[in-house]
């Protein structure tokens, strides 16, 4: 049965997190792997399996062309598709794959069909990108109740009182992006007055600095460049991220990678230790980059650090003490750290979901348009009908007329942006209003009406007073999709899901296979349990088969499952599990 619960989703560039507010406080919902964040990574194996999250991330280096990272950067782009075999995927569809896992995991967690969601987007996302995000949610089977700004969500999660006049600076350092937003709060309105940032700077760069350091030291010692070997590089990257995280709470960390490479003399291990001090020294250049955008945002907001009442840390990378220090240094304010920074946005989205579903009533969220909207008028100029930072929902209309005699139609081009020359802005839509009865220039009365709904989605219409002719567009812009297109994509996603083994299914199959192989090995080695030579050969071959399938990243889960079952069958047949006193992995019973 469909649940009335509304979850909040932070669909991040690197990680996705989701939460719910059931009573009072929002809570993060763990994914099926038991983790609080899910890597925003999608992959397709050669055998056609779709992987999302950790599994996709972990096989990335072996499968680079079919693994998609950071799809959020492409959101709203009509010209981008990812080709996988015979299929082509749009950014919406790939984001939908991530959201499908969210829906599946949340539904499993509550044992209810979760199908309503609030999704967050960066404050600077334009209409096209917001619409694309909404589409992704719908392709994933959600009803998207609201799209809200990430800094707004973060402020809600931090419990900032939106009824009290104040300025808040949100300092968001994620995995691959750095976003600064300055908001003005008061009377229940969250007004984003400036945004700035760096599109390609985030925690990943801190990992890379560690990878460089470790591989350089290794090269000095052994004269081998580990970064040339994809597998070694992936292990190094994983170890670097782990070390970085450890250094957020410890002063020193050890890195231990056995058999990282081999020489003629045998395998080599990487064993190293890094202190927080060393780490901070090699990342000084990265830290320096954080200053300029922050100053730019303050300048754009027309304020100085003295005018800021609150600094909020958002994004997993702000867990590093060095980042907290720079944020403090640049803003002169002690930043709030009362909640987990990589969960703040998801928690805020959950609060908003709680408000919509009536589980929390004292909060009204009003948002503002991030950019001006208008139409092109004579001389190629942009006339703004809805200026940026107007509180939404909003609606406005304006009277226009014709510019020459007997003009029978007007062409309306809708732009979004702050430039005075219309076509330097983003063209959202264009349409023609026809059938204007012949008249002298300047006499027809044509009303152009703009409205923005609570999700920031724009509708524009034009009406000729005399004839009553009417034309309207819902701005699905160059990027939006018609209902039919959405249906087609949903269908395609359903089909892939049907053919696909879910992450956890694959994960469990691998675990079982590993355990079965282990039991088999122990049985072969155990002197107390006599095996007939034939049984031993069977079991040995069975282990071999399971291990080969385990090692092959392209192997099919169903093949692995049947090999595991065969092996377990042989083991069981010879009383292996019982005799070994093993906790039997059990035969597949479904
Ligand atoms: P995004 O908003 O880009 O999707 P997140 O806010 O989840 O991403 O931030 C992800 C980044 O935060 C990654 O680079 C990750 O390594 C980093 N991170 C997470 N936890 C920690 C920690 N304890 N210490 C340092 N960095 C962390
Ligand atoms: Mg984020």
Please tell me if the CB atom of residue 283 comes closer than 6 angstroms to any atom of ligand 1. Answer: no
Q: Can you tell me whether residue 259 is helix, strand or coil?
A: strand
pLDDT tens for the chain, residues 1 to 590: 789 999 999 999 999 999 999 988 999 999 999 999 999 999 998 877 899 999 999 888 888 899 999 999 999 888 899 998 888 999 999 999 999 999 999 999 999 999 999 999 998 888 889 889 999 999 999 999 999 999 999 999 998 888 889 999 999 999 999 999 999 988 777 888 888 999 899 999 999 999 999 999 999 999 999 999 888 998 999 999 999 999 999 999 999 999 999 888 889 999 999 999 999 999 999 999 999 999 999 998 999 999 999 999 999 999 999 999 999 999 999 998 889 999 999 999 999 999 888 887 765 555 667 678 999 988 889 999 998 767 777 889 999 999 889 999 999 999 988 888 898 888 888 899 999 999 998 899 999 999 887 766 788 999 999 899 998 887 643 334 667 777 787 777 777 766 565 666 777 788 889 888 988 888 888 877 778 888 888 889 999 999 999 888 777 888 898 899 888 888 887 766 565 555 544 444 33
Please tell me if the CB atom of residue 203 comes closer than 6 angstroms to any atom of ligand 1. Answer: yes
pLDDT for res 364 = 57
Q: From the CA of 150, which ligand is nearest?
A: 2
Residue 311 CA, chain-centre distance (Å), reads 24
Please tell me if the CB atom of residue 15 comes closer than 6 angstroms to any atom of ligand 1. Answer: yes
Intervals of CATH 2.60.34.10 along the chain: 373-481
Intervals of CATH 1.20.1270 along the chain: 484-580
C-alpha span between 543 and 568 (Å, rounded): 10
From the number of C-beta atoms within 10 Å of its C-beta (0-12, 13-18, 19+), residue 476 rates as buried
Intervals of CATH 3.90.640.10 along the chain: 203-285
The CATH homologous superfamily of the domain defined by 373-481: Substrate Binding Domain Of DNAk; Chain A, domain 1 (2.60.34.10)
Please tell me if the CB atom of residue 175 comes closer than 6 angstroms to any atom of ligand 1. Answer: yes
Please tell me if the CB atom of residue 343 comes closer than 6 angstroms to any atom of ligand 1. Answer: no
Q: From the CA of 209, which ligand is nearest?
A: 1
Region 484-580: CATH code: 1.20.1270
Instruction: Output the pTM of the full model.
Output: 0.74
Tokens of 169: 């600076």
The CATH homologous superfamily of the domain defined by 6-201+289-367: ATPase, nucleotide binding domain (3.30.420.40)
CA distances from 420 to 72, 323, 423 (A): 29, 38, 9
Rounded distance from Cα 241 to ligand 1 centre (Å): 9
φ/ψ of 446, rounded to 5, equals: -115, 115
C-alpha span between 219 and 200 (Å, rounded): 28
| Nearest-CA residue for atom 6 of ligand 1 | 315
pLDDT for res 478 = 36
Rounded distance from Cα 11 to ligand 1 centre (Å): 14
Rounded distance from Cα 15 to ligand 2 centre (Å): 7
Please tell me if the CB atom of residue 121 comes closer than 6 angstroms to any atom of ligand 1. Answer: no
CA distances from 414 to 121, 442, 476 (A): 22, 21, 12
Q: Which of 69, 122, 197, 203 to mutate to test the pocket of ligand 1 (most atoms within 8 A of CB)?
A: 203
Please tell me if the CB atom of residue 37 comes closer than 6 angstroms to any atom of ligand 1. Answer: yes
For 64, what's the count of Cα atoms within 13 Å in the CB-facing half-sphere? 5
Q: From the CA of 121, which ligand is nearest?
A: 2
Rounded distance from Cα 317 to ligand 1 centre (Å): 4
Query: With the CA atoms of 380, 384, 385 and 387 taken in that order, what torsion angle do they form, in degrees rounded to the nearest 10?
Result: 160
Rounded distance from Cα 171 to ligand 1 centre (Å): 13
pLDDT for res 161 = 85
- Give the DSSP per-residue string, 425-451: SEEEEEEEE--PPP--TT---EEEEEE
C-alpha span between 283 and 205 (Å, rounded): 9
In this structure, the strands spanning 25-28 and 446-452 are unpaired
Query: With the CA atoms of 449, 450, 454 and 458 taken in that order, what torsion angle do they form, in degrees rounded to the nearest 10?
Result: 120
pLDDT for res 149 = 92
pLDDT for res 578 = 60
φ/ψ of 371, rounded to 5, equals: -140, 155
Rounded distance from Cα 37 to ligand 1 centre (Å): 10
| Nearest-CA residue for atom 19 of ligand 1 | 316
Tokens of 206: 């801190």
Region 203-285: CATH code: 3.90.640.10
Active-site positions? 10, 72, 150, 172
C-alpha span between 418 and 377 (Å, rounded): 15
CA distances from 540 to 311, 543, 549, 562 (A): 62, 5, 14, 16
Please tell me if the CB atom of residue 500 comes closer than 6 angstroms to any atom of ligand 1. Answer: no
């Amino acid at each position: 049965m469909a649940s009335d619960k509304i979850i909040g989703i932070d669909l991040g560039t690197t990680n996705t997190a989701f939460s719910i507010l059931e009573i009072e406080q929002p809570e993060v919902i763990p994914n099926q792997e038991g983790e609080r964040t899910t890597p925003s990574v999608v992959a397709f194996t050669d055998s056609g399996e779709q992987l999302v999250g950790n599994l996709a991330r972990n096989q990335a280096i072996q499968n680079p062309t079919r693994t998609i990272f950071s799809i959020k950067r492409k959101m709203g782009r009509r010209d981008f598709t990812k080709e996988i075999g015979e299929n082509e995927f749009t950014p919406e569809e790939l984001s939908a794959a991530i959201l499908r896992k969210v829906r599946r995991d949340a539904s499993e967690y509550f044992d209810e069909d979760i199908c309503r969601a609030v999704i967050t987007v960066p404050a600077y996302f334009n209409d096209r990108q917001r619409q694309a995000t909404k589409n992704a949610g719908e392709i994933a089977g959600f009803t998207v109740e609201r799209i809200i700004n990430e800094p707004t969500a973060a402020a809600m999660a931090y419990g900032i009182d939106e009824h009290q006049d104040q300025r808040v600076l949100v300092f968001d350092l994620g995995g691959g992006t750095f976003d600064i937003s300055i908001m003005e709060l008061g009377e229940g309105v969250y007004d984003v007055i400036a945004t700035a940032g760096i599109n390609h700077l985030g925690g990943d760069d801190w990992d890379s600095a560690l990878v460089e350091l470790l591989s350089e030291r290794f090269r000095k010692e052994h004269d081998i460049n580990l970064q040339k070997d994809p597998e070694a590089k992936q292990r190094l990257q994983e170890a670097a991220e782990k070390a970085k995280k450890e250094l957020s709470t410890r002063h020193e960390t050890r890195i231990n990678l056995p058999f990282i490479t081999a020489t003629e003399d045998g395998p080599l291990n990487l064993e190293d230790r890094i202190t927080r001090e060393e780490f901070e020294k090699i990342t000084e250049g990265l830290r320096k980059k954080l200053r300029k955008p922050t100053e730019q945002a303050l300048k754009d907001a027309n304020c100085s650090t003295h005018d800021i009442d609150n600094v909020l840390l958002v994004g997993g990378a702000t867990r590093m003490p060095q980042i907290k220090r720079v944020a403090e240094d640049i803003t002169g304010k002690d930043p709030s750290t009362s909640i987990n920074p990589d969960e703040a946005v998801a928690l805020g989205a959950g609060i908003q979901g709680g408000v919509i579903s009536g589980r929390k009533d004292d909060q009204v969220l009003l948002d503002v348009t991030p950019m001006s909207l208008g139409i092109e008028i004579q001389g190629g100029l942009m006339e703004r009908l809805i200026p940026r930072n107007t509180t939404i929902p909003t609606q406005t209309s304006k009277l226009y007329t014709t510019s020459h005699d007997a003009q029978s139609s007007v062409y309306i081009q809708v732009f979004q942006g702050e430039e005075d020359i219309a076509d330097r802005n983003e063209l959202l839509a264009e349409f023609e209003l026809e059938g204007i009865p012949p008249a002298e220039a300047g006499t027809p009365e044509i009303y152009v009406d703009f409205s923005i709904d609570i999700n920031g989605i724009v509708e524009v219409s034009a009406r000729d007073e005399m004839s009553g002719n009417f034309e309207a567009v819902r701005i699905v812009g160059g990027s939006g999709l018609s209902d039919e297109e959405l249906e087609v994509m949903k269908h395609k996603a359903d089909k892939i899901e049907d053919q696909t083994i879910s992450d956890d299914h694959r994960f469990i199959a691998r675990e079982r296979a590993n355990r079965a192989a282990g039991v088999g090995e122990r049985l072969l080695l155990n002197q107390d349990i006599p095996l007939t030579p034939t049984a031993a050969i069977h079991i040995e071959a069975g282990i071999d088969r399971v291990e080969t399938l385990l090692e092959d990243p392209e192997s099919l889960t169903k093949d692995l499952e049947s090999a595991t079952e065969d092996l377990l069958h042989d083991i069981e047949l010879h009383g292996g599990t019982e005799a070994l006193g093993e906790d039997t992995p059990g035969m597949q019973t479904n």
